[in-house]
Amino acid sequence: MPYTLGLDSSTQSCSCIVIDTDTQSVVAEAAVNFGECLPQFKAPSGFIPGGSNGEVHSDPLMWLDALEQLFGDLKAKCDLSKVIAISGAGQQHGSVYLNARWLNNINTLDTARSLSTQIAPWLTRATSPIWMDSSSTTECREIAEAVGGDSIVCNKSGSITIERFTGPQIRRFYKISPEAYTQTARIHLVSSFLCSVLCGVDAPIDTGDGAGMNLLNIHEWNWDADLLEATAPELIKRLPKITQGSTTAGQISNYFVQKYGFASGTPISVFTGDNPSSLVGMGASRPGKLVISLGTSDTFFAAMPNVLADPQGCGHVFGNPAGGSMSLQCFVNGSLAREEVKDKFGYDWDQFTAALVNTPIGNDDKIMVPFFRPETSPCMDLDAPILKGNDAFENWQDANAAIRACVEGQFINMKLRTDWMQLKPEVIYLTGGASKNDAIAQVVADVFQAKVQRLAVSSSVALGASLRAASHNLGLDLNEIESQFCKPESDSTINPKATADAYNSASKVFEDLLGKK
Ligand code: XUL
């Protein structure tokens, strides 16, 4: 019964899954929702509301208290001494700032006191900027200018400078709090911070999460001297080492052995970002499959056969925890846009679905660029008029046509913006809230000309971490255990109905409307 444990510290909750690779089953799951379980942190959605100038921060002590609650709950559900390996993942880009006492004392935690009480005095910045933070526009520009432009940053780091990425956030901290920056001996990502706490050592950052910082050179998979210099002084000595996903960060520290009953010596594989972890947990760590997650915003990610950056600068390249690289692209106008069109006509989701079913592929050439908010893919000027179509949105009278135009527009755009990845997927795995909708899944299959499947997996981030721990420590083939745990839901396959050229002219018209001829 070799159990492995995968941890997921995400924006709104901390959760974990324990799997048994012999019986190929889930042994236990637990989750702590920050807002509900830790109301004292006054972060109902996991971040501190009301930040000014685009700041969105979370309290790192909340992540530590959540970890303790989580293991307390899990201990009641499963014998943690049977866990033989652990790994984890964190929300990407968020950063934790620590003084030299962290480096000297992280291996001395005392079970008589909580993690948060002991670690609080080691923080040089009380709160952590997270991925929703957009306060660093000036710093993005400064970094890009210092290294010779955004195309150079993109070529080096896999992304242009992005507000939520860690490098621009570090630069902002250095500028607004130079003394606290001087006091800072270590800057961790959420993933490497929690991995360090679990191991009682200062853990490395993996290439998956490290590439979300605008600091890592994706051709060398190491810190980039030019980017570091453009970001803040003497940054190299404040950053942990970079390592590949299949590295042992350490063994579980005595704190967790004594307090929660883990076996002494349990190995911990380096943590990664939530998206790289989800790539594994969706069973897509090998090139050939791609994942589309339909959420508030839609994301598209895939393992990449080669390291390639988006020439348009909208996509991101991260390390693939299974080796090599992965691409990720975010589309702001996901569910938000679908909802906007639904609400304009006073429809419910059943009527929305019926509209898709009752309208023809190609929508009789009625096309919409369904951007209700400034889009990141393509990168759009915040002041640009956002919603375009072959008629102004207020003039769309036919609800069914508008709904099909919105959904087709979303996936035509997604296909056009992800062509740089040069992927020819055999299968698309669809996940997230709207993925259950067969009519939306059909449009995805038609536009991408690929088979679409939904997986039975729900917690793909934590599952990915437990699969990585199993593969790394039990010597199991990652693809094999992915296929055991990440099975398609029966009868969920949707095949394309459209012909291969069905969207050719619509794609051209879409680019014209967008002004990208
Ligand atoms: C990816 C991103 C988010 C975070 C939080 O670039 O910002 O997906 O990882 O989930």
Residue bearing tokens 């992304």: 159
pLDDT number for residue 181: 98
pLDDT number for residue 261: 98
In terms of Cα–Cα distance, which of 471, 468, 28, 481 is closest to 209? 468
Q: For residue 501, how far is its CA from the centre of ligand 1 (angstroms)?
A: 33
Percent of the chain exceeding pLDDT 70 equals: 97
The answer to whether residue 47 scores a pLDDT higher than 70 is: yes
What's the length of the chain? 517
Separation in Å, CA 186 to CA 31, 96, 119: 29, 8, 13
Q: For residue 131, how far is its CA from the centre of ligand 1 (angstroms)?
A: 6
List ligand 1's pocket residues with C-beta within 6 A: 11, 91-93, 131, 164, 212, 273-275
Tokens of 509: 């018209």
pLDDT number for residue 272: 98
Q: Is 69 helix (H, G, I), strand (E, B) or coil?
A: helix
The answer to whether residue 209 scores a pLDDT higher than 90 is: yes
pLDDT number for residue 376: 86
**Which of 10, 330, 431 maximizes ligand 1 atoms within 8 Å of its Cβ, making it the mutation to test the pocket?**
330
> Atom 6 in ligand 1: which residue has the minimum CA distance?
92
**Which of 14, 164, 275 maximizes ligand 1 atoms within 8 Å of its Cβ, making it the mutation to test the pocket?**
275
**What is the mean pLDDT of the segment spanning 164-190?**
98
pLDDT number for residue 163: 94
Query: pLDDT-based confidence at 42, cuts 50/70/90?
Result: very high
**What is the mean pLDDT of the segment spanning 75-97?**
97
> Atom 1 in ligand 1: which residue has the minimum CA distance?
92
Q: How far is CA 49 from the centre of its chain?
A: 21
Q: How far apart are CA 127 and CA 135, in angstroms?
A: 14
pLDDT number for residue 387: 63
Burial (CB count within 10 angstroms: exposed 0-12, middle 13-18, buried 19+), residue 357: exposed
pLDDT number for residue 253: 98
Separation in Å, CA 63 to CA 32, 90, 227, 302, 436: 10, 10, 29, 28, 31
pLDDT tens-digit profile of 305-324?
Answer: 888 889 888 999 999 999 99
Q: For residue 257, how far is its CA from the centre of ligand 1 (angstroms)?
A: 31
Q: For residue 44, how far is its CA from the centre of ligand 1 (angstroms)?
A: 19
Tokens of 438: 């067969």
DSSP alpha helix (H) spans, 370-433? 399-418
> Atom 9 in ligand 1: which residue has the minimum CA distance?
92
pTM of the model: 0.92
Residues 28 and 15 sit within 8 Å (Cβ to Cβ): no
Q: For residue 148, how far is its CA from the centre of ligand 1 (angstroms)?
A: 27
Q: How far apart are CA 202 and CA 249, in angstroms?
A: 9
pLDDT tens-digit profile of 387-435?
Answer: 666 667 778 899 999 999 999 999 999 999 999 998 888 799 999 888 9
**What is the mean pLDDT of the segment spanning 163-168?**
96
